[in-house]
Amino acid sequence: MNRRNFFKNGSLFALGTTLLNPFESPANELDLSNFHKNKKAKNIIVIVSDGMSIGTLNMADLYLTRKTGKGSNWMQLYKDKKVSRALMDMASASSIVTDSAAASSSWGCGFRVKNGSLNIGTNGEEYLPIWQKFQKAGKMAGCVTTVPVTHATPAGFCISSKSRNSQEGIAELYLDLKFDVMLGGGDNYFSSDIRKDKRDLYKEFKDKGFTVVKNKTEMWSSDNNKPILGIFDKEGLPYSKDRESSKELTNSIPTLAEMTQRAIDKMKNHPKGFVLQVEAGKVDWAAHGNDVAGLIYDQVAHDEAIKVAIDFAEKDQNTLVIITSDHGNANPGIVYGKEANDNFDSIQKYTQTNDWILNGIGKETSVAQVIERIEYANKIILKEEEAKEILSYYTNIKLEDGLYNPRHLPFKVLGDIQKKRNSVGWISTDHSADYTELAMFGPGSQLLSPFIKNTDLHYLMLQAAEIENKY
């Protein structure tokens, strides 16, 4: 029997490994009598907090609990025992520490691939991504994200590419594949003014029947009878905290929860169902920058998207909701100290992210202006030597590395300065090999074992929807 083939109403629901692992683990048998009592998943919503270490989940829950008296939607699902829960091993084919491309590909194709590649095997095999499999089965498919729609995580569900960096090419593949909803950032990869080849992909998408939207108002008013491409910024969308601190951004840029709701509204009445990937991509970017306001508030935005999905699934009763992360990043957490409670609560007063702070400083900025800017953003007063340390990165040949930091700004320095006031520590500015949290709600959630490999999730989704894996 081919363990990768699943047939409707058949007997092939006996799985190998913790769940359908095509590799080497010993078999665990499922309780088939229990399975057949459950509905198949007509719809699947996968909600990913990219780069979420367990400390990030913990801090967002504590932040909400201490501010509002009510914790996060994610943790409430655990408290109410509404979900199946597991840990997931996210290693790639090339490293125990994965990148987002290999992580998403493990879910997308059911194989571990090398870091940097999208659904391309270690020997060059091109695997068919899972959203294309669901398309072939007649379902609508879409992705929403706070980073470019061409970025690694959405791309891993949708396309195959030797390099995650080929974002202009990924945008072209989306044009050919005609997914039903794509909402996020990435104007740099669609606009003729910016693309290297000067192709106007917006026009080409319109010519193929898409509604192209550029702001929140256009998104809400878009035609449900047409596929939707929504691109709301050059690269990633603004951090949630910076967005909510700007009336202009609030009016023009949708939240992750709003994009999730729009995608569901677009696809929910399709007779054969839909699949939707939702990504809080800038949680990862914030972790790379040790940016606590970016991190916590974007994790809260992810949590609000969870509520949208769960609210729909509870009413629909035919929807599997999968909530997870693709890897850890920077492993932040609240560190011990007699002032830890008050220090952590000070984050409630932050009005801007470190991204906003540091990108507003230049060679011409004075020490007094640095102090003033950080006091405005964080409600803390820096010492003069701390401000000088930050400013030295703009006036001297002194560079700080890190992803999503093309100007080599002192993100780690500022994070270390803030630690003394907010009690949030970081171990690095890069990915870590964490086992990730995985929660499932709805039909198919009973298939989840307490510990799985990342590749198992691909086969679980197919099985939950009773889709034959024949492509």
Could you please report the per-residue DSSP string of 222-283? S-TTS-EEEE-SSSSPPPHHHHHT-HHHHHHSPPHHHHHHHHHHHHTT-TT-EEEEEEETHH
- What are 279's strand-pairing partners? 48, 145
Question: How many residues are there in the chain?
Answer: 471
Give the confidence band of 6 by pLDDT, cuts at 50, 70, 90: very low
C-alpha count within 13 angstroms, C-beta hemisphere, residue 152: 30
What b/e readout covers 421-440, taking b as 16+ CB neighbours within 10 angstroms? bbbbbbebbbbbebbbbbbb
Cβ distance 377 to 352 under 8 Å? yes
Q: Say if residue 358 is in the same domain as residue 287.
A: no
For residue 127, give the CATH number of its domain: 3.40.720.10
DSSP letters for 289-335: TT-HHHHHHHHHHHHHHHHHHHHHHHHHSSEEEEEE-S-EES--EEP
| Residue 143 Cα to chain centre, angstroms | 10
Q: What number is the average pLDDT over the span 163-169?
A: 95
Residues 301 and 157 in one domain: yes
At residue 301, the pLDDT reads: 98
Q: Does residue 214 lie within any of the structural domains?
A: yes
Which uninterrupted H or E stretch holds 432? strand 431-432
Q: What pLDDT digit, counting tens, does each position of 360-369 carry?
A: 999 999 999 9
Rounded Cα gap, residues 205 and 228, in angstroms: 9
Same domain for 303 and 392, yes or no, is no
- 236 and 99 in one domain? yes
Q: What tens digit of pLDDT does each residue of 286-312 get? A: 999 999 999 999 999 999 999 999 999
What share of the chain has pLDDT > 70, as a percent? 90
- Using the 3D structure, point to which of 319, 354, 380 is the last residue of a domain: 319
What are the Cα distances from residue 318, in Å, to 85, 130, 195, 398? 19, 19, 41, 55
**Residue that finishes a domain, picked among 288, 319, 350:** 319
Same domain as 374, residue 247: no
pLDDT tens for 380-418 read 999 999 999 999 999 876 666 666 666 789 999 999 999
Q: How confident is residue 343, by pLDDT bands cut at 50, 70 and 90? A: very high
Q: Is 206 exposed, middle or buried (0-12, 13-18, 19+ CB in 10 A)?
A: middle
Q: How confident is the model at residue 13 (pLDDT cuts 50, 70, 90)?
A: very low
- Do 225 and 93 lie in one domain? The reply is yes
Determine, yes or no, domain membership for 444.
no
Residue 20 predicted with pLDDT over 80: no
Residue 353 lies in a domain: yes
pTM (2 d.p.): 0.91
Judged against a pLDDT cut of 80, whether residue 49 lies above it is answered with: yes
Assess contact for 98 and 431: CB atoms under 8 A. yes
Q: Say what the pLDDT of residue 398 is.
A: 63
Look at residue 26 and tell me whether its pLDDT is greater than 90: no
- Do 235 and 300 lie in a common domain? yes
Total count of domains within the chain: 2
The whole-angstrom separation of Cα 185 and Cα 194 is 14
Cβ burial, residue 191 (10 Å; 0-12/13-18/19+): middle
Q: Which domain holds residue 272?
A: 47-319
> In degrees, to the nearest 5, what angle opens at C-alpha 461 toward C-alphas 256 and 259?
15
**364, part of any domain:** yes
Report yes or no on 415 lying in a domain.
yes
Q: Tell whether 18 is covered by a domain.
A: no
209 and 258 share one domain: yes
One domain for residues 357 and 302: no
Map residue 43 onto helix, strand or coil: strand
Token pair 């909701």: residue: 321
315: CB partners within 8 A, 6+ apart: none
Distances (CA, A) of 39 to 175, 246, 260, 318, 447: 34, 45, 24, 7, 12
What are the residues facing 84 on neighbouring strands?
440
* Residue where a domain stops, chosen among 319, 351, 376: 319
Residues 186 and 252 placed together within one structural domain of the fold:
yes
Of residues 210 and 23, the one with the higher pLDDT is 210
Note whether 346 and 311 are same-domain residues.
no
In-domain check, residue 9:
no
Give yes or no: residues 381 and 307 share one domain: no
Residue 267 lies in a domain: yes
